[in-house]
Amino acid sequence: DTEVTQTPKHLVMGMTNKKSLKCEQHMGHRAMYWYKQKAKKPPELMFVYSYEKLSINESVPSRFSPECPNSSLLNLHLHALQPEDSALYLCASSQASGSGIDTQYFGPGTRLTVL
Amino acid sequence: SQKIEQNSEALNIQEGKTATLTCNYTNYSPAYLQWYRQDPGRGPVFLLLIRENEKEKRKERLKVTFDTTLKQSLFHITASQPADSATYLCALVSGNQFYFGTGTSLTVIP
């Protein structure tokens, strides 16, 4: 199984809502990532989990809260978002084997709209 | 801070021609560089990786070169097809952080 799955595909939420994005992989990868991508822009790194520990938080506002319940799952909890947070949210995973060579496998993304 | 720039935001070429995309970087000495393809509304898909000690890498109609002196990688698609139309991203890796270039949107015109 070489797939990263993300749910939901689309999400519309109000600024006072609480919602969660989910990501799953069964490739035995030990690093998982959240990216935010606006139209016609490259993916921007938000968080990195390595061996289920948060290793990188790229100064993301606290209204985004990541969680890695186990090595296959990655969640992104959303609360009190702003309209400018509307974007495609991508999850990715990589082997993180320590060999120095790593490639990322991306999920299809969740298209988030904040009203 | 690292800066990764790709040539022109958009590139249009005629079917059958060779598309050449450029990735330039500064303030960085990567051990390897990667190229990804992204279709609209989808996640990027890994295409090719080239190490710093490799000058050239090929995979079917794709070719990547890497010049660490110029701090530049070139990505070629030969005999281009309309199905090659997509956004192409280069990526540099530092530790477990991936830095993506600005992307080039390629359109192959039938």
Query: Are B98 and A104 within 8 A, CB to CB?
Result: yes
Q: Does A15 touch chain B (CB under 8 A)?
A: no
Percentage with pLDDT > 70 across chain B: 96
Per-residue pLDDT, B82: 97
Per-residue pLDDT, A64: 96
Query: Which residue positions in chain A have pLDDT lower than 70?
Result: 1-2, 97-100
Tens digit of pLDDT for each residue in B8-50? Answer: 779 999 999 999 999 999 887 787 899 999 999 899 999 999 9
Q: Does A45 touch chain B (CB under 8 A)?
A: yes
* Residue of B41 and B88 predicted with greater confidence: B88
- Pairing type for strands B97-100 and B10-14 reads unpaired
Mean pLDDT of all residues in B48-56 = 90
* Most B-contacting residue of A21, A59, A101, A104 (CB-CB within 10 A), to test interface: A104
**Amino acid (1-letter code) at residue B46:** F
* Residue of B95 and A80 predicted with greater confidence: A80
Q: SS3 letters for chain B?
A: CCEEEECCCEEEEECCCCEEEEEEEECCCCCEEEEEEECCCCCCEEEEEEECCCCEEEECCEEEEEECCCCEEEEEECCCCHHHCEEEEEEEEECCEEEECCCEEEEEEC
Site of tokens 């790194």: A45
Query: A103 vs A8, A31, B65, CA distance in Å?
Result: 24, 11, 18
**In this model, does residue B1 exceed pLDDT 70?**
no
Smallest Cα–Cα separation from A106: which of A81, A86, A88?
A: A88
**Residue B49 has which token pair?**
């990786």
Residue B2: pLDDT band (50, 70, 90) is: low
